[in-house]
Amino acid sequence: MEMETELVLSSSLHYMLPRKRAVGGEAVVVEVEEDNCKAGSLKKSRILTATIGPAEATGNVNTNSSIGDNNSNHSRGDAKPPIMALGEGNPPDIDEDLHSRQLAVYGRETMRRLFASNVLISGMQGLGAEIAKNIILAGVKSVTLHDEGSVELWDLSSNFIFTEDDVGKNRALASVQKLQELNNSVVISTLTTELTKEQLSDFQAVVFTNTSLEKAIEFDDYCHNHQPPISFIKSEVRGLFGSVFCDFGPEFTVFDVDGEDPHTGIIASISNDNPALVACVDDERLEFQDGDLVVFSEVQGMTELNDGKPRKVKNARLYSFSLDEDTTNFGAYEKCGIVTQVKQPKVLKFKPLKEALKDPGDFLLSDFSKFDRSPLLHLAFQALDKFIMELERFPVAGSEDDARKLISLACKINDSLTVGKLEEIDQKLLHHFAFGARAVLNPMAAMFGGVVGQEVVKACSGKFHPLFQFFYFDSVESLPSEPLDPSDLKPINSRYDAQISVFGTKLQKKLEDAKVFIVGSGALGCEFLKNVALMGVSCGNQGKLTITDDDVIEKSNLSRQFLFRDWNIGQAKSMVAASAAASINPHLHIEALQNRASPETENVFDDTFWENLIVVINALDNVNARLYIDQRCLYFQKPLLESGTLGAKCNTQMVIPHLTENYGASRDPPEKQAPMCTVHSFPHNIDHCLTWARSEFEGLLEKTPAEVNAYLVNPIEYTSAMKNAGDAQARDNLERVIECLDKESCETFQECVTWARLKFEDYFANRVKQLTFTFPEDAATSNGAPFWSAPKRFPRPLQFSIDDPSHLHFVMAASILRAETFGIPIPDWVKSPMKLADAVSKVIVPDFLPMKDAKIVTDEKATGLSTASVDDAAVINELIMKLEKCQKKLPPGFRMNPIQFEKDDDTNYHMEVISSLANMRARNYSIPEVDKLKAKFIAGRIIPAIATSTAMATGLVCLELYKVLHGGHKVEDYKNTFANLALPLFSMAEPVPPKVIKHQDMSWTVWDRWILGDNPTLRELLQWLRDKGLNAYSISYGSCLLYNSMFPRHKERMDRKLVDLAKEIGKAELPPYRRHFDVVVACEDDEDNDIDIPQISIYFRY
């Protein structure tokens, strides 16, 4: 047991402290000795297991869920049973707080399959560690780590788990404890002896990252022919080259090929034809494609289509399609109807590795500019395998003899081919391949760790389309632009030796001395910190890495932000992440800040800070912050490496001074917002209901109590502001405050129950009665068309019943939150349905009489309250008098407690109220209801996120970082990427260059900023521009005009310093750290043509 004790103690100072995420028991280390090694019993091996807690022991799984895998049409039971080894057994209930972002991508059924799956990873160098990290975070049942080798200093270039203290230890044993910390629900064990094919039988998926082709073929044949088949993945990273091969068996069923929600359309008309023409409302374009299967529901008139039978789409258009069906004898279409795509399972027939090597089929491409690269790399990896078999070593970096040997082997393999023989072999590329063959680079390991991790998820769950079957990738553009000296590639007994063997010591020095700014330390930020620490970025005496994030760690972060642990919840993200990164590489010079990078913090991130930077890496989660950083990088002419993820999708964009356009040069169109009248009165999908529910929640429980407090803190100032505004908004604010403090005021919990019960009546009965009174079912528009035509849905009022659990649940949740706002203690009996029903029964609900002159907004262009009317001022004065009377009745010092919506706390009843509001409203309009989790995704605007796409994005960015820090690369050397791991799809292209403006013999782009020093006068600036053939007619600072040629008095300012004009006229506040200010100048040429010139910076101090 001495070895085990040493392992624990040697790691206790590491950032991944030996503490556990609670699973109902303690993690224990045991040593097992058996003759037959299997996944769960290892000869003379260590196993780290988690004692199963109550949740796991019972195996109870709630299967009555309405949220699945984004595929409402075909559950696992509906489809043909899969001919593959999916996870079996009774996994524990899903921790929705922890996995909410991942659930938004996969759904519950996929997560349950994952939780029941056992995975083997063979080869624990950098790539194996990245794959293990990603699938452990995803949450499989068990991961077995296999490696017979020992940790070398060489491994520290790419493996975030190892430290220099681990050198000499078995790689698998050195990995287990730190990987266990990522997710204590996953049982992690090790195998340290030679693997036999029989040991693979206990796994659903096996991954090999460092095995010979001979062994791989043997293992794959066993997996392919096993019953049920075992999914086999072989992946390698060799320098700047990588490969993946997948074989999921003779027949593998994919339940959901893309992970997208089934497309839907709202029907406007259906013809009685053969084929029938189906037209949909032009609310949103249809996403159907020819050959899709669709089902119909709620169709009135042509009810034959409501039989649930899938029908084929033909001639798909933006708002219509033909149906492969003869509807001539069907009933005539009258109104309504929803058409929904039926997602079909897909069966894939994989070839075993032995066959696929000879006949690889179509390669998955990543870059169409390298269309012929994959066949060459297919040869190269086989040649490398032969090289290692013959010489029992890798090619030596810089060895021309070894490169020639590998090229010769590749040529022999090519000559032996009868199918797919290459006419020409790119020897230069194979030189690069040979030189870096031994190295596992961190960015490549991160990228392939994301790709392979996702393939493991697919293998275990049938979710998303597998990679079929070979994928090759290279990033030779990352190499320095000038030829490398072979002597510069030799190891120097450093943790960066593997990286040096590819890039040389000169680039390594540039990496170490870099001054880098990482903005954000969430999921992307954690991955970036790990990557740059392993690469040695900012680890030299001159280097410095600054990271900033103003957020704190939440439980939901732990499933993908892998530097954080459960005991870090509530701590500052940047501080914890920086500490963890420094533990990965103690040489890292890092400063962690907790400031949001914004105009308000330009005293922190001042001119000197920006001017000293070499590169900026964005790790942000919103567009506005990205645009601000983009403008700063544009201003100071700094490279910006941009990336983002959305579920299984990711993108990267390189913003390089003077070479590419900036981030803000191209913008996605804004998201389409539902009209206010649709949300308030005419919803036709659950999103509308949830948008309304969140708006009502915030109005009732946050905004109105906050408005009450604003009045109570300073009544005179508040009422004065309302009088001065004198508009409909001020009137509405006052009415809400009075209502809250007068007729809806609560002093006891019973009054809160009364309030909640009456809110139910108001929302789901009275408002609907009023709407249908104003617009009866047979109402017509001004042009005679039916008012209630698609997409409008005619609503029905709800009749409250204490026997309906959803009705009672709404009253319970709403009354609890109402009591919170008034500071009223919450009694235990509220959670007893019988006692709550008794309290509700005491509520007297007044009869409702609809008003004849009710105003209901139907204009889709209306966005808010009307502007001020003549009556508003008089009404506001009257309301203020009422408010003053209400105040006198309040106890001294009374304040309300506004409730700010928090989606990630399942104990606070916020989502209970919102989901209840939305579902009751959906019931009014016969819209399908959703469970609380789905409601949380939509109302909480949760961005789907998984570790695999994050890892891939950061790996791709760091491959570009090599280019940026070296300098001298051309625009065509850089790559922007869009990838979708679900399909899988990889699309790489060179960035778009910036738009060039020309004038006389000058040219400039958005990257240029003209600088005028020596504290100039207005006259000196005008003359400086005239010397360039430009006539300035307007100069402004911010929104203030410093000079305009049309104003005679402005000529008096000619000899004044521009800085004085900016201070006096523009009210410029120029603190001591500010050395310049900027002016915008409008110019013409001598022919009076406007010329768009760069921003001009006026330096007034040095």
Active-site positions read 677
Q: Which residue from 996, 1009, 240, 321 is spatially nearest to 610, judged by alpha carbons?
A: 1009
Q: How do 346-348 and 264-270 pair as beta strands?
A: unpaired
DSSP-H helix ranges across 762-869: 767-774, 805-822, 833-841
Q: Rounded to whole angstroms, how far apart are CA atoms 633 and 1009?
A: 12
Cα 930 to its chain centre, rounded Å, is 23
Task: Name 194's Cβ contacts closer than 8 Å, sequence gap at least 6.
Answer: 148
- Residue 233 burial (10 A CB sphere; 0-12, 13-18, 19+): buried
Q: Which residue from 147, 120, 370 is spatially nearest to 222, judged by alpha carbons?
A: 120
The sign of the dihedral angle between the CA atoms of 181, 185, 186, 192 is positive
Q: Rounded to whole angstroms, how far apart are CA atoms 256 and 272?
A: 33
The answer to whether residues 699 and 857 touch, using CB atoms and an 8 Å cutoff, is no
Exposure b/e, 262-286, CB count within 10 A at least 16 = b: bbbbbbbbbbeeebbbbbbbebbeb
Task: Name 63's Cβ contacts closer than 8 Å, sequence gap at least 6.
Answer: none
Q: Rounded to whole angstroms, how far apart are CA atoms 993 and 408?
A: 40
Q: Which residue from 152, 201, 990, 210 is spatially nearest to 654, judged by alpha carbons?
A: 990
Exposure b/e, 778-789, CB count within 10 A at least 16 = b: eeeeeeeeebbe
Query: At 944, phi and psi to the nearest 5?
Result: -60, 135
Q: In angstroms, what CA-CA distances link 366 with 245, 475, 916?
A: 15, 11, 46
Q: Rounded to whole angstroms, how far apart are CA atoms 97 and 556?
A: 6
The residues with which 339 forms a beta bridge, in sequence order, are 265, 296
Q: Which residue from 498, 430, 389 is spatially nearest to 241, judged by alpha carbons?
A: 430
The residues with which 1076 forms a beta bridge, in sequence order, are 1099
Q: Rounded to whole angstroms, how far apart are CA atoms 846 and 848?
A: 6
Structure tokens at 667: 């913008």
The residues with which 235 forms a beta bridge, in sequence order, are 244
**Number of residues that this document lists for the chain:** 1102
DSSP reduced 3-state for 342: strand
Instruction: Give, to the nearest 10 degrees, the angle between helix 686-698 and helix 910-924.
Output: 130
Q: Count how many Cα atoms sit within 13 Å of the Cα of residue 81 in the half-sphere of its side chain.
A: 2
The answer to whether residues 953 and 443 touch, using CB atoms and an 8 Å cutoff, is no
Look-up of token digits 């070839």? 351
Q: In angstroms, what CA-CA distances link 994 with 553, 661, 663, 989?
A: 38, 4, 11, 15
DSSP code, position 396:
P
